[in-house]
Structure 1
Amino acid sequence: MGVGKKGEELAKELFQANYNCAQSTLAGILSAKGREYKDRIRLAGAFGAGIAQQGLTCGAVTGGLMAFGLLVPLGEDMGAWKKQVADLSKEYIREFKDRFGALDCSKLAGCDMSDAAVRKTFHDSGGRDRICTPMVMAGTEIALEILRRRR
């Protein structure tokens, strides 16, 4: 299996089981790093469809950022911890945006995800599978690759 393959597969499986994008990405990353995820993904419950279904920052992005906060060991020096999490997060955001061209859910989906009717049409037309699933998998892959490079 390639770097993060197990994580990507779990992220896809959870997303297809109707977990949101942030939960799925967070779970995939944590699982691939040998961490428990079942309780922790509740933290990401409000981050689907661009933060509370508002079409804002993509849940694959926010889920990845949450993972960094959970995976970086919290030491005595809070400033050093915050810098390390911020550095990982900036790299993740840059790579995700380079790959997909945007960070906002509505831009990535090509429709107003804050509108419930539009969101339903997006889901019913297969947009979630066609557009979001690859981003959830890529978000997981990007985070795991960054963590691997930083070892």
Structure 2
Amino acid sequence: MNRMEQTQALRARTDIHFNCCQSVLVPFCEACGLTEEAAYQLGAHFGAGMKHGSTCGAVTGALMALGLAGKGNDAAAELMRRFRDHNQVLDCANLLRLAAERGEARKPHCDRMVYEAVELLEELLAE
């Protein structure tokens, strides 16, 4: 199973909730030198924009993975630039507001943010 398939499986689980940060970080845990449990714990408080609508958990999970993989500030800035180019903003509260304005329900919106972050992370780790 590739990382996107792992991410999709995490997002589909109903027995345990993986927030957006965990959903991005867990599939990359081995590449980052973490166990799945450690990645799950590390991302526990970064969902819903650090639990108060700040930076999207999918973005924070991707930034964590970049850092753990040894990527520097340029990769982090590029990830945020690409994400913002597609979504206008980085913060959860405004991402959700924009989704609501488009009539997009929260779960599909958040899934889409997670999948985009995983794609961007894959691209940046390959560079």
TM over 0.5: yes
Match of 2:6 in 1: 10
Matched, 1:47 2:46: yes
Counterpart Cα distance in 1 of 2:123 and 2:49:
23
1:40 positional shift: 2.1
Identity %: 34
The amino acid across from 2:123 in the alignment is E
How many correspondences in the alignment?
Answer: 119
| CA radius of gyration, larger in | 1
1:30 Cα deviation after fit = 3.4
2:37 is paired with a residue of what secondary structure? coil
Residue by residue, what CA displacement relative to the aligned partner does 1:83-108 show, whole Å, maximum 9, x if unpaired?
Answer: x4211111100011111111000111
Cα distance, 1:10 vs structure 2: 1.4
Q: Which residue type is aligned with residue 23 of structure 1? A: Q
Of Structure 1 and Structure 2, which has the larger fraction of its residues in helix?
2
Instruction: Identify which of 78, 82, 85 aligns with 1:98.
Output: 85
Q: Please say if 1:143 is aligned against 2:124.
A: no
Task: After superposition, give the CA deviation of every residue in 1:102-140 in whole Å (9 maximum; x if it has no partner).
Answer: 1000111118xxxxxxxxxx9xxx833220001101101
Report if the CA contact (8 A) 1:29-1:64 is conserved.
no
Q: Given the two structures, how large is their TM-score scaled by the length of structure 2?
A: 0.82
Map residues 10-29 of structure 1 onto 2, 5 A cutoff. 10-17=6-13, 18-29=17-28
Q: Within 5 Å, which residues of 2 pair with 1:61-100?
A: 61-72=59-70, 84-100=71-87
Rounded Cα–Cα distance in structure 2 between residues aligned with 1:140 and 1:86: 18
Q: Which runs of 4+ in 1 moved over 6 A?
A: none
Given residue 108 of structure 1, which amino acid in structure 2 is its aligned partner? L
CA distance in 2, matches of 1:20, 1:107: 18
SS at match of 1:45: coil
Structure 2 unaligned runs (5+)?
none
Any gaps of 5 or more consecutive residues in structure 1?
73-83, 112-121
SS in 1 for 2:83: helix
SS in 2 for 1:50: helix
2:58 corresponds to which residue? 60
